[in-house]
Amino acid sequence: MRAFHASLAAERRYCILALVVAVGVSLLCGCSSHPRAGEEGAPGPNEVWLEHHAFMPASMTVPVGTTVIWINKDRTIHNVTSGVRWTPDGIFASGSLWPNGKFGYTFKKPGTFPYYCTIHSHMEGTIVAQ
Ligand SMILES: [Cu+2]
């Protein structure tokens, strides 16, 4: 009888341990799915995501000398082309950015730099370097 009780107590201990582990794992999973800068869910500093056929953030102000990185998070091809709709100004052009493709440009002069996607011209963004 005593042995039975002992094993029951041990079993209960394992149950509690399993519960603690399960809660811990679910908490960890919960945290990792929460959007955080530079991770899944939100662009990091000096990062612009091409997501849902839009630039996110659509406008960004950076210090002169900053390299801005664009990352295509969509499942379609986009590009990052400086200029305004239908009128590229030749300052920078990523060419075709495939899903997960990246493009970087270093803003060495102050100014306002509009850009768009020539495939989906409603996709527009602006970088202000100052
Ligand atoms: Cu596009």
The second-level CATH assignment, the architecture, of 44-129 is Sandwich (2.60)
> Between β-strands 111-116 and 81-84, what pairing exists: parallel, antiparallel or unpaired?
antiparallel
Instruction: Please state the domain extents for the chain.
Output: 2-34, 44-129
Q: How does pLDDT run across 65-87, given as a tens digit for each residue? A: 999 999 999 999 999 999 999 99
| 37 has pLDDT over 60 | no
d(CA 123, ligand 1 centre) in Å: 6
Q: How does pLDDT run across 102-116, given as a tens digit for each residue? A: 999 999 999 999 999
Q: How does pLDDT run across 117-130, given as a tens digit for each residue? A: 999 999 999 999 99
d(CA 64, ligand 1 centre) in Å: 26
pLDDT of 28: 41
Q: Do 111 and 68 touch, CB atoms closer than 8 A?
A: no
d(CA 76, ligand 1 centre) in Å: 7
